[in-house]
Every structure is written in C-alpha cells, then in structure tokens.
Structure 1
Amino acid sequence: MEFEKFNEIRELLCMKYADVTEGKMMSSEAIHYKNKVFAFFSRKKKMVFKLGKGYPIETAHVPLTEFSPFKTKKPLAGWYEVDFEYHDQWETLTQLALDLIQNELA
C-alpha cells in the first residue's frame, strides 16, 4: 500500500514534467529531476524528501523527521522523512521538493 502511493505520485510527476524521471537513491526507488534525486521511498516504508538544510520544519503540516540511514553517522542534511500515516501530504511535499530543486538548478 505504501509503495503504491509513492509510485502513483512518481508516475503523475513523470507524466506532467519532461525533466522528472524514475530512478534510484541508495537502492531505493526514487524520483529525479534532471538526474538529481529530490524524493524517494525508504526501506522503512516512508517517503523521504529533499527540502534543504534551511527548511523551517516547524511550518510543515506533518511531522518531519531528519532522514538518518546510517547508525554511526549524522542524518543526511536537508532530507526529511514522513510516515505513511501522513500519506495524504506526500504529494504536496513531493511537489514542494520538486519546486525547490527546480529553483536550485535554474
């Protein structure tokens, strides 16, 4: 169920934007913009978004957790994960991550 929601969002964005493609991030299914990952589906069955180091997480409408895939290293700076419980916000957050990377690469 979780992956199906992720895949639905990915397919929608791939159809809508020519520069958005399917890809991988650390062996996980991902969404790329011009070959740069901006969102992916983690092994913990959560969706992970690149929102940037300065993103004000307190303004989000869902709990954002720093994404930390390594036991002995710091979390990945600017990457945040969201539980399936809040899947109704995954599409909005994916669009936000896409908007941010589009601006970054403009």
Structure 2
Amino acid sequence: MTEGKMMSSPAIHYNNKVLAFFSRSHKMVFKLGKDFKVDQVNVELREFNPFKNKGPLSGWYEVDFTEKEVWEELTNLALSLAKENS
C-alpha cells in the first residue's frame, strides 16, 4: 500500500489504484465493489456521491467520522478485495 490522492484528498493506494480516501466532508470512502453487499458489515455504509447532477460512484461507499473505529477493518476489507481483483 502507498499514500496518494483522490479528489485532492489523502488516499491509500494498492497497485496504483485507490482503495480508500478521506473525503472533504470528513468521511472515509472505501472501494468495495459494485457487487458488495452492505449487510456484510456492522456499520452504516452509504453510496458515495460527490456529484450534484450525477448518480453515485459505483462500488464506492462512505462511512461517517462517528464510525471511525471501523475504518481500519473496512480498509483491510477494501485491500483484500483489491488484491482479489488484481
């Protein structure tokens, strides 16, 4: 894993692809894939939609700062999924 940027925000990369980043709205955003079932984790995941006039980014989910205790677990999950798909 390496550090980088996504949408001008600090990000975690694996194989030159972003797997998680800290958004300007103080939420962590994770790439879990479009087939990910949100009920697999015990935290509220919301589809990430940074656009005003478009739909959400497919496969990207955000988690509030109030749930920061699960960020590491979700980062590890995103990394595992990235490794499976590389």
TM-score of the alignment, normalized to the shorter chain, above 0.5: yes
| SS of residue matched to 2:85 | helix
Give the deviation of 1:26 after TM superposition. Answer: 1.0
Aligned partner of 2:52 in structure 1 is 71
**Cα distance between partner residues in 1 of 2:35 and 2:83:** 16
**Cα distance between partner residues in 2 of 1:22 and 1:46:** 17
Aligned partner of 1:94 in structure 2 is 75
**Cα distance between partner residues in 2 of 1:59 and 1:33:** 22
| SS of residue matched to 1:81 | strand
Could you tell me which runs of 5 or more consecutive residues in structure 2 were left unpaired when the two chains were aligned. Answer: none
TM-score scaled by structure 2? 0.98
More strand per residue? 2
Aligned partner of 2:21 in structure 1 is 40
Pick aligned residue for 2:30 from 49, 64, 70: 49
Give the deviation of 1:59 after TM superposition. Answer: 2.4
**Cα distance between partner residues in 2 of 1:84 and 1:43:** 11
Aligned partner of 2:63 in structure 1 is 82
Deviation per CA, 1:39-59: give whole Å up to 9, x if none: 000000000000000101022
**Cα distance between partner residues in 2 of 1:67 and 1:29:** 16
Structure 1 stretches of 4+ with a deviation exceeding 6 A read none
TM-score scaled by structure 1? 0.80
Q: Which has the larger radius of gyration?
A: 1
- CA RMSD, 1 decimal: 0.6
| SS of residue matched to 1:53 | coil
More helix per residue? 1
Matched length = 86
Aligned partner of 1:103 in structure 2 is 84
Return the letter of the residue paired with 2:10.
E
